[in-house]
Every structure is written in C-alpha cells, then in structure tokens.
Amino acid sequence: MSRNKKSSSKEGSTSSETLKNKKYEQELRKLHIELVRLQEWVKHKGLKVCVLFEGRDGAGKGGTIKAITERVSPRVFRVVALPAPTEREKSQMYIQRYLPHLPAAGEVVIFDRSWYNRAGVERVMNFCTDEQVKKFLMATPLVEKAIVASGVILLKYWLEVSQEEQTRLESRITDARKIWKLSPMDIKSYGRWYDYSRARDEMLNTTDSEWAPWNIVPSDDKKLARLNTISHMLSQIPYDDAPREKIKLPKRSKKGEYDDQVTLEGRTFVPQTY
C-alpha cells in the first residue's frame, strides 16, 4: 500500500483547460471499472474500508462522493452523512455516534463529513468550547489508531478550495437545483474564511498521523479533484480480480406462455410527456 504524503499537489496533474467533458467521462469510466473490481475484492476478502471527506462548503465533497458511488452497489459502498446530534448524543463521548457506522467485513463506508466536525464547523461557529476541541484533537489520533488496529483501512481526504472558487456558493441562491445545498449555517460561516483556515491548520497538525494521514486534494477544478481522489483511493487499497463464475443467461421457458401485454390494458400508465 503506497503512502506518499509529501507528493506535490501538482504532480501528474492535467490542465483544467484540456480536460473536456468527453475526456473526463472517458477517464471516469476507467476508474468506475476499477471501483467495481475493488468492490468485488472487498466482498471476497471481507475488507473493511472507511473513507472520510472534509473541506469547506463548496469544496466538492458531495460531487466527489457521487462520482465514487455512481456505479457501485449501495450495499457495499455506504455513504454516511449524520444530521445534527440529538440531546442524548450531545451527552455522549463526541465520537461515539459515529462508531456504529464504521464498516463491517465487506463494506466501504464513506463519511460525508465526520467526527472532524468538532475541529471545523463546531469550533468556528462556537458550538463547543476551546477545551472540548483540545481534548478532541488529543484523543482522535489514539481513537483512529485503534480503528486501524482493528483491521479498518482508514483514508482521510481534505478537499481544499480557494476563496475565489468558493464564491460559486452564490449560485446556490439562484439555482433551483442547488438551493437545498445552502443552509443557514453555510451563510453564517461563509464570512469566516480565516477562522476556518486556522482550524484546518491545527486539525492537520495534530491529527495527521502515520497510521491515518491526511490527503489534501486541490478542488477548484471539480473534475480533476474527482479523478485524482478516486485514483489515489484505489492506490491505497490493495485489490485484485475476485473469483467469478462464468455467467450464462438461461433459456426462457415457454411453459404457460400468454400475451402478458394485453393484460395491462386499462391500467394507469405514466403520461409519455417526453
């Protein structure tokens, strides 16, 4: 399993000017084939994979996760995006509500934001105290070490978006397809750029460990970010072709043959608007 933490963010990159939709779809298709191979290997070997995605609003976490899960089984690749904690959950150890969602054998669990909420949005928006953040940052590497020791392959990604690119959040105000993405919290946090930067820096400094390193993904160009993330993720999980029986469709039986379309006449059909 290759882990090159010091690689340049521009190493092997492609100019966003040259990555047209057709080329993007071609490369994504290749990666989707590999993700299906990985899926079958994870099931065959009973691997446990946990992938965390963190980053500012507008960094492209949702689009990257969608690109990963588009062609795989939701029974193997499971996305976890927890709502705000209940009063009961607030009284628990902070990371406790995330633990039941960790992968069992044969699963890939993807966290769309994770326990690192405490080091990011909760800290910046004053939902927790400095002392709580300090304790969280001290405890998290140890918890993650225990997770990895239990056999989980843990991958952590921070999608890094620039101030200029983040202004695209404005499109969520006017685009009816995106208004659900813009929460009151997003609006409040938008003006606190450098508070988030300082929170990010301390989080990386204290939780970038040998057993659970952070992987930074420049994400101004969303297409390149998706391709680079998937490619890197595949490189971090050893996999091969899983054994597979040769499949041949059986002949359809003619026994009991009848006109099964006539029996639908008179039923309510969806209007053929298109």
Instruction: Give the domain CATH number at 197.
Output: 3.40.50.300
Cα 165 to Cα 161: distance, rounded to the nearest angstrom? 6
pTM comes to: 0.86
The per-residue pLDDT string of the chain (274 residues; one tens digit each, 9 = 90 and over) reads 444 444 444 444 445 455 789 999 999 999 999 999 999 999 999 999 999 999 998 899 999 999 999 999 999 999 999 999 999 999 999 999 999 999 999 999 999 999 999 999 999 999 999 999 999 999 999 999 999 999 999 999 999 999 888 776 676 677 778 777 677 777 777 789 999 999 999 999 999 999 999 999 999 999 999 999 999 999 999 999 999 999 999 999 999 999 999 999 999 999 999 9
Residue at 70 is within a domain: yes
For residue 178, the enclosing domain spans 21-242
Position 142 in a domain: yes
Q: Is residue 4 part of a domain?
A: no
- Residue 134 forms part of a structural domain: yes
Q: Long-range contacts: 138-146, Cβ < 8 Å, 24+?
A: 138/206, 139/95, 140/95, 140/115, 140/116, 140/206, 140/207, 141/206, 141/207, 141/209, 141/212, 143/95, 144/207, 144/209, 144/211, 144/212, 145/209, 145/211, 145/212
Q: Are strands 107-112 and 48-55 parallel, antiparallel or unpaired?
A: parallel
Structural domain count, the chain: 1
| Cβ 195 vs Cβ 119: under 8 Å | no
